[in-house]
Amino acid sequence: MNAATAAVGRIETVELRIPRKAEWVAVARLAVAAVANRLAFSVEDIEDLKLAIAEACTNCIRHTNGNASIDIVCEAEPDLLRLIVRDHCFDLPPQRPRAVGEPAGDAGGLGIFIIESLMDHVAFEPTANGPTELVMTKRVGA
């Protein structure tokens, strides 16, 4: 784990790089929970953040090959937490999200759907190197 914080204006950043292996997803969950706990998130919101980051990491593990790492950046502002997940797994078009309450016939696409349900804002943004990164934002008390 390579964690560092740097104050940029009112944004504090924590970075984490984990191996692209299933056994490391729990570490990402715990790290994000620890960061969220520094802000005024409720216990329920912290659980949402843990699930969202786990789904993003799981998506990377499921849809990429090789031994690449998963980079996670947590940008903490006083009233929000932004989670950025970078890998080469998000350059596929996101699957159509289900409407809330629409039954899931199978597990396919559930991860992204859960992320979009739990977070306030979700975006797939291109990077300078080509692959897309997943940016998820949750506001305190939203």
Partner 1 sequence: MDIKVQVRESEDDAYVVELSGEIDVYTSPKVKDAITELIDQGHYNLVINLEKVRYIDSTGLGVLIGGLKRVREHGGSVNLVCTNPQIRKIFDITGLVKIFGIFENEQDAKKALV
Shorter beta-carbon distance to partner 1: residue 5 or 62:
62
Q: How far is the CB of 55 from partner 1 (least distance, A)?
A: 6
Q: Which class for 135: exposed (0-12), middle (13-18), buried (19 or more C-beta within 10 A)?
A: buried
H or E element that contains 92: none
CA distances from 65 to 3, 31, 89 (A): 25, 24, 9
Summarize as ranges the residues that interact with partner 1 (CB under 8 A).
Answer: 22-23, 25-26, 29, 44, 47, 50-51, 54-55, 57-58, 61-62, 98, 100-107, 110-111, 113-114, 117-118
Report in angstroms how near the CB of residue 5 gets to partner 1 at its nearest: 25
Structure token pair of residue 77: 């502002």
Rounded-to-integer distance, Cα 78 and Cα 4, Å = 18
Query: For partner 1, which is the closer residue by CB, 63 or 77?
Result: 63
| CB closer to partner 1 out of 11 and 110 | 110
